[in-house]
């Protein structure tokens, strides 16, 4: 642990944020009071009968201040970025009314939660896109606790990139109590004028449309050459980390008291694999993608990687007073994409942040927690999922096929399906399955040694191979795609189809459905 000399802007942030300390702590007291009350209410009720929670979301264009210097036209749910955190209790019925006030079609996908197929929000696969001015109502039974998120699944690289995402939490009826339960949504933006990267072929990039003033560190000539890979372009484009929609120095700090028991829910809503280091405290990783880890061990001086769309829940005891900075950086683009999330003990406001000098040990989910036998049954079907690329990194494939001429895996209800996922490219692919969780059972041929790993997104690094098992219990047509959304846009999308399943909707030809 070394002292980290922070830039003056962070101190400024603390000074600014410090003004609202009283209000913040009052707010958090109110929140925890409400939490206790609703928990008592809940325990007095029949645990299977929840309430009906109605949430109205308007998809709209919003001027959003990322900090005092960066303002952009973002696309938001109800005018905030991220959209409001939706917290419901296990057993609730959730009704989400989505109204589209944009001038392009949209749709809402509830990521990770096993919804009925017609509620999955994938245009052209499970519904027609919600046209401008129209509404669509999603209804879910919140019967599986966890940390999930909602986001657009229409032209995702553009729409999620513009800000259409938010966190969705289902609290279990036996929710443990924490002094603080904070959600930290990691994302990155380009501080340049907004551009539509998914439509930006390398040869088409029109430099006249870009605010040159913000591009001082770019080699303009290089941008038009063909030898720049998608990855290099990404690293040039994205230069600013945001946490809960705010860039430094306006990132809201987490205020704690000595003795607090704290839960942090990390979500990566962006496009880069991020490294997270928590300084000065031991911690446990209690959930992957919202699902519990069996008997998690205590970790010290250990960084964990969180890939696009993944969630990690961390539990820690606040026993080391000070002003700390949780370090988050993109491994592939560390110079530009790095940030400290201040976590400050009462009485240490305005002090310099201590953080981790360098990540030394990396978390390994294949050998974490206690092993437990799976009761999923014997494998009935096996498929390969080979992740590839061609055209110099312009297109991305699964089994050499590119969406919409994509790989279709046919399964039957009751199948236990094994997929072997192999990454033959040189970049990460966080692969996300809709509709069902999967168990990761091996990495590079070596079985998982620790807790069962139940996830909805698995990051497959270059050269890696994973085996996963899916119990086919939720009939429908489900996408299985890369969550680096430009890769999905470039074709890295497969689909699982249940034999005999017929979607409840008819694709309308005049509707512009763009599921990838």
Cβ 440 to Cu ion shortest distance, Å:
17
HEC states along 339-358?
EEEEEEECCCCCCCCECCCC
Between β-strands 283-288 and 291-292, what pairing exists: parallel, antiparallel or unpaired? antiparallel
Q: In the complex, what is the shortest distance from the CB of residue 485 to Cu ion, in angstroms, rounded to a whole number?
A: 9
Residue found under tokens 């606790």: 145
User: Which is nearer to Cu ion, 406 or 487 (by Cβ)?
Assistant: 487
Give me the 461-490 binding string for Cu ion, x by CB under 5 A, dash otherwise: ---------------------x-x--x---
Could you tell me the smallest distance in angstroms from the CB atom of residue 258 to Cu ion?
43
For the CB of residue 363, give the shortest distance to Cu ion in the complex, in Å.
21
Interface stretch with Cu ion, choices 130-138, 178-186, 409-417, 423-431 (CB under 5 A): 423-431
Smallest gap from Cβ 393 to Cu ion, in A, equals: 11
The neighbouring-strand residues paired with 462 are none
Task: Please state the closest distance from residue 396 (CB atom) to Cu ion, in A.
Answer: 6
Residues in contact with 261: Cβ distance below 8 Å, sequence separation at least 6, in sequence order: 178, 179, 180, 315, 316, 317, 318
C-beta of 429 vs 443, nearer to Cu ion = 429
C-beta of 67 vs 231, nearer to Cu ion = 231
CA atoms within 13 A on the CB side of 83: 32
Tokens standing for residue 498: 């249940």
* The only residue of 111, 246, 429, 481 in contact with Cu ion, by rule CB under 5 A: 429
Residue 197 DSSP one-character state: G
Q: Which of residues 178-217 bind Cu ion (CB under 5 A)?
A: none
Coil, helix or strand at residue 488: helix
Site for Cu ion in 65-104 (CB under 5 A): none
Q: What is the gyration radius of the CA atoms in the chain, in angstroms? A: 22
246-275 residues near Cu ion, rule: CB under 5 A: none
Please report, to the nearest 10 degrees, the dihedral formed by the alpha carbons of residues 71, 106, 160, 224 taken in order: -80
| Residues paired with 242 in a beta bridge | 187
User: 148, exposed or middle or buried, with CB in 10 Å at 0-12, 13-18, 19+?
Assistant: buried
Tokens 């949209």 sit on residue: 106
How many residues in the shown chain lie near Cu ion by CB under 5 A?
Answer: 4
Quick one: 467 or 484, whose CB is closer to Cu ion? 484
Q: In what order do the strands lie in the sheet with 457-460?
A: 408-411, 493-498, 477-482, 429-433, 457-460
Select from 60-68, 87-95, 428-436, 496-504 the region that touches Cu ion (CB under 5 A).
428-436
Structure tokens at 250: 């306006």
**Which range, of 167-175, 426-434, 462-470, 506-514, touches Cu ion by CB under 5 A?**
426-434
**In this complex, which beta carbon is closest to Cu ion, that of residue 429 or of residue 455?**
429
CB of 460 to Cu ion, least distance (A): 8
Closer by beta carbon to Cu ion, 277 or else 333: 333
CB of 429 to Cu ion, least distance (A): 3
Closer to Cu ion by Cβ: residue 251 or 485: 485
Burial 439-456 (b: 16+ CB within 10 A, else e): bbbbbeeeebebbbbbbb
Residue 416 in the binding site for Cu ion (CB under 5 A): no
Stretch that binds Cu ion, among 199-207, 219-227, 322-330, 422-430 (CB under 5 A): 422-430
How far is residue 360 from each of residues 236, 276, 300, 325, 357, measured CA to CA in Å? 27, 12, 11, 17, 9
Residue closer to Cu ion by CB (options 144, 386) is: 386
Burial of 85 (0-12, 13-18, 19+ CB in 10 A): middle
Task: Please state the closest distance from residue 388 (CB atom) to Cu ion, in A.
Answer: 11
Nearer CB in complex with Cu ion: 175/514: 514
In the complex, the residues that contact Cu ion under the rule CB under 5 A are 429, 482, 484, 487
């Amino acid at each position: 642990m070394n002292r980290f000399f922070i830039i003056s802007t962070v101190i400024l942030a603390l000074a600014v944020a410090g003004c609202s300390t009283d209000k913040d702590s009052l707010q958090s007291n109110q929140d925890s009071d409400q939490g206790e009350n609703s928990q008592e209410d809940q325990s007095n009720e029949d645990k299977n009968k929840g309430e009906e929670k109605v949430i109205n979301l308007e998809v709209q264009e919003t001027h959003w201040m990322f900090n005092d210097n960066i303002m952009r036209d973002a696309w938001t749910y109800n005018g905030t970025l991220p959209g409001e955190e939706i917290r419901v209790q296990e057993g609730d019925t959730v009704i989400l009314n989505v109204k589209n006030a944009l001038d392009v079609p949209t749709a809402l996908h509830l990521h990770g939660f096993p919804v009925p197929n017609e509620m999955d929000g994938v245009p052209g696969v499970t519904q027609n896109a919600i046209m401008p001015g129209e509404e669509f109502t999603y209804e879910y039974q919140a019967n599986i606790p966890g940390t999930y998120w909602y986001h657009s699944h229409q032209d995702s690289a553009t729409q999620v990139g513009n800000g259409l995402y938010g966190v969705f939490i289902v609290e279990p009826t036996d929710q443990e109590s924490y002094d603080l339960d904070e959600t930290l949504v990691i994302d990155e933006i380009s501080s340049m004028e907004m551009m539509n990267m998914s439509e930006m072929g390398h040869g088409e990039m029109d430099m006249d449309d870009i605010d040159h003033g913000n591009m001082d560190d770019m080699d303009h000539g290089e941008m038009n050459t063909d030898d720049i890979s998608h990855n290099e372009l990404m690293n040039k484009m994205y230069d600013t980390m945001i946490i809960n929609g705010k860039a430094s120095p306006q990132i809201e700090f987490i205020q704690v008291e000595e003795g607090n028991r704290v839960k942090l829910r990390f979500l990566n809503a962006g496009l880069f694999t991020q490294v997270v280091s928590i300084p000065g405290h031991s911690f446990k990783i209690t959930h992957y993608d919202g699902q519990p880890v069996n008997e998690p061990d205590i970790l010290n001086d250990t960084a964990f990687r969180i890939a696009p769309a993944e969630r990690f829940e961390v539990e820690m005891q606040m026993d080391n007073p000070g002003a700390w900075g949780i370090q988050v950086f993109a491994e592939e683009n560390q110079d530009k994409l790095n940030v400290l999330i201040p976590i400050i003990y009462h009485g240490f406001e305005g002090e310099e942040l201590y953080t981790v000098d360098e990540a030394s040990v990396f978390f390994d989910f294949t050998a974490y927690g206690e092993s437990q036998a799976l009761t999923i049954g014997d494998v009935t079907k096996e498929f390969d999922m080979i992740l590839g690329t061609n055209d110099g990194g312009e297109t991305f494939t699964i089994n050499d096929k590119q969406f919409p001429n994509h790989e279709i895996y046919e399964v039957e209800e009751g199948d236990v399906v094994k997929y072997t996922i192999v990454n033959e490219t040189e970049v990460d692919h966080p692969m996300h399955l809709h509709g069902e969780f999967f168990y990761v059972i091996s990495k590079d041929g070596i079985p998982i040694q620790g807790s069962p790993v139940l996830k909805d997104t698995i990051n497959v690094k270059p050269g890696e191979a994973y085996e996963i098992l899916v119990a086919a219990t939720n009939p429908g047509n489900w996408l299985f795609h890369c969550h680096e959304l430009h890769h999905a846009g470039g074709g890295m999308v497969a689909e699982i189809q249940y034999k005999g399943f017929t979607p409840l909707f008819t694709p309308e030809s005049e509707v512009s459905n763009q599921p990838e």
